Amino acid sequence: MTTRVISNIGELTTNDPTLGEGAMGRLRDAAIVIDDDVVLWVGASAHAPAADESIDANGSAVIPGFVDSHTHLVFAGERSDEFEARMNGTAYDGGGIVRTVKATRAASSDELRRGTEKRLVELRAGGVTTVEIKSGYALDVDGEARLIDIATEYSDEVTFLGAHVVAPEYASDRGAYVDLVRGPMLDACSHRSKWADVFCDRGAFDVDEARAILSAAKAAGLGLRVHGNQLGETGGVALAVEMDAASVDHCTYLSDDDIERLAGSATVATLLPGADFSTRAGYSSARRLLDGGALVALATDCNPGTSYVTSMAFVLAIAVRDMRMDFDDALWSATRGGAIALRRDDVGHLAVGAKADVVILDAPRAVHLAYRPAASLVRQVLVTSGGALNGWFARGHGRVTDV
């Protein structure tokens, strides 16, 4: 076990109010000591204990690794033509999902791995240390199980999304598809998934269909997540709260009742600014959620249709500029908020005992992530040794050489 001290930190964000100033638990001229697994010590740089190795942060900012709690990383193909059409005024209606389903069904598992790995390398280069990955681009029993198996190679936060849209071959019998998802498909996927998700929205699944699928998933022991209120006030938020889902994601359209429901619940509102950006939707009302007392997370939603985004810094920049989140609220939502959306207490903060997922920036303050959009400001990412994602990186796959 190697211990490391990172000293001369200009601005350390711990997200633990007991360790430093304000809700972000901020310290200046700070140091942090970690081992291969956890944070051992946090305090003033001048008092830092010795360790096996030292890293001089040279006055830079240090933050907890980003927790990207919503991605669809396992897919084949791309849909840039839809992006161009949307920029010219075409609305997003979820119709393109079946194009990715066709490409994904046709792809070999190794092709799917290669694409997933490229996106993981991009996410990691931007400071993501925990990532959730959904299935949802196969929509048949064997195909969804294959996507879940691939996702499991890279993440401990794997989500079964057989209920992304109705599979094309079931277009004339939606009920049969709902039964397939809540029966044989769930059976084939539940043992390797932690979560189940349903796209409960216009053009996908209505509230009753979504409730039936989520109830079966809950009975199978899975935690619940919902894609809700992306395309309208379509009941996804209310359903997520009713079912005690860990998170309801998108929340682009919200009634005052939705905000009240969220505020009185353990369901996190996960906002996906990349999706609003890339679909030219209005932005989610982050301010109303925060002012109303709801818990907010921010995630990339990386997928080929609505948000081919792998930069959490970009997500933060939009959240601050266009959703009017204070930078600190946005940073908290992309770290601690993401962790809570995954019902995790060990990541998203840097208290003693938390996982040693630490990002050293090439900037004196974390706000530079939004202030200098599109610059690469992540200098170093230090991660705990455990877990599928870090295991994969540790096996030497941290660089992509065939681009």
Residue 63 CB contacts under 8 Å (≥ 6 apart), including other chains: 13, 127, 331, 335, 358, 359, 361, 366
- In the range 91-120, which residues lie near ligand NIG by CB under 6 A? 94, 96-97, 100
CA 363 – CA 335 distance, rounded (Å):
18
Q: Return the residue of 129, 270, 306, 310 that touches ligand NIG, per CB under 6 A.
A: 306
Minimum CB separation from ligand NIG for residue 96, in Å?
5
333 binds, among Fe ion, ligand NIG, none (CB under 5 to 8 A by kind): none
Which region, judged by CB under 6 A, interacts with ligand NIG, from 213-221, 304-312, 319-327, 355-363? 304-312
User: From the list 116, 130, 193, 230, which residue makes contact with ligand NIG (rule: CB under 6 A)?
Assistant: 230
* Piece in contact with ligand NIG (CB under 6 A), picked from 22-30, 188-196, 232-240, 302-310: 302-310
Structure tokens given for 361: 């920036």
**One character per residue 183-202, x = contact with ligand NIG (rule: CB under 6 A):** ----------------x---
Q: Which does 367 bind (CB under 5 to 8 A by kind): ligand NIG, Fe ion, none?
A: none
Nearest residue (CB) to ligand NIG, 64 versus 304: 304
Nearer to ligand NIG, 15 or 306 (CB): 306
Q: Cβ 274 to ligand NIG, closest distance in Å? A: 9
List the x/- string, 260-299, binding to Fe ion by CB under 5 A: ----------------------------------------
Q: Which residue is nearest to ligand NIG (CB)?
A: 305
Closest CA to 373 of 329, 316, 325: 316
* Count of residues of this chain found to bind ligand NIG when the rule CB under 6 A is applied: 14
Residue closest to Fe ion (Cβ): 301
CB of 93 to ligand NIG, least distance (A): 9
b/e string for 158-178 if b means 16 or more Cβ within 10 A? bbbbbbbbbbeebeeeeeebb
* Smallest separation (angstroms) from ligand NIG to the CB of 161: 8
Closest CB 337 distance from ligand NIG, rounded Å: 17
Q: Select from 150, 298, 282 the least CA-distant residue to 229.
A: 282
341 touches ligand NIG (CB under 6 A): no
Give whichever of 167 and 358 is closer to ligand NIG, judged by the CB atom: 167
CB–CB of 329/290 below 8 Å? yes
- Per partner kind, with CB cut-offs from 5 to 8 A, the member of Fe ion, ligand NIG, none near residue 4 is none
C-alpha distances in Å from residue 376, one per residue of 9, 62, 123, 305, 362: 19, 15, 12, 25, 8
Site string for ligand NIG, 261-280 (x = CB under 6 A): --------------x-----
State how far the Cα of 339 lies from the Cα of 334, in Å rounded to an integer.
8
Element spanning 156, H or E:
none
> What are the residues facing 359 on neighbouring strands?
63, 381
Q: What are the backbone angles phi and psi of residue 207, rounded to the nearest 5°?
A: -60, -40
The amino acid at 182: R
Residues in the chain: 403
Residue 90, classed as helix, strand or coil, is coil
Contact 3, 33 (CB under 8 A): yes
> Which one of 68, 276, 301, 357 is in contact with Fe ion (CB under 5 A)?
301
Q: Is 91 or 375 the residue whose CB approaches ligand NIG more closely?
A: 91
Verify binding: residue 245, ligand NIG, rule CB under 6 A: no
The label of the residue with tokens 């992530």 reads 369
What does the DSSP assignment read for 7-48?
EEEEEEE-S-TTTSBTTTTEEEEEEEEE-SSBEEEEEEGGGP
Minimum CB distance to ligand NIG, residue 275 (Å): 5
| 289 and 269 Cβ atoms separated by less than 8 Å | yes
Judged by the rule CB under 5 A, the positions of this chain that interact with Fe ion are 301
Judged by the rule CB under 6 A, the positions of this chain that interact with ligand NIG are 94, 96-97, 100, 199, 227, 230, 275, 301, 303-307
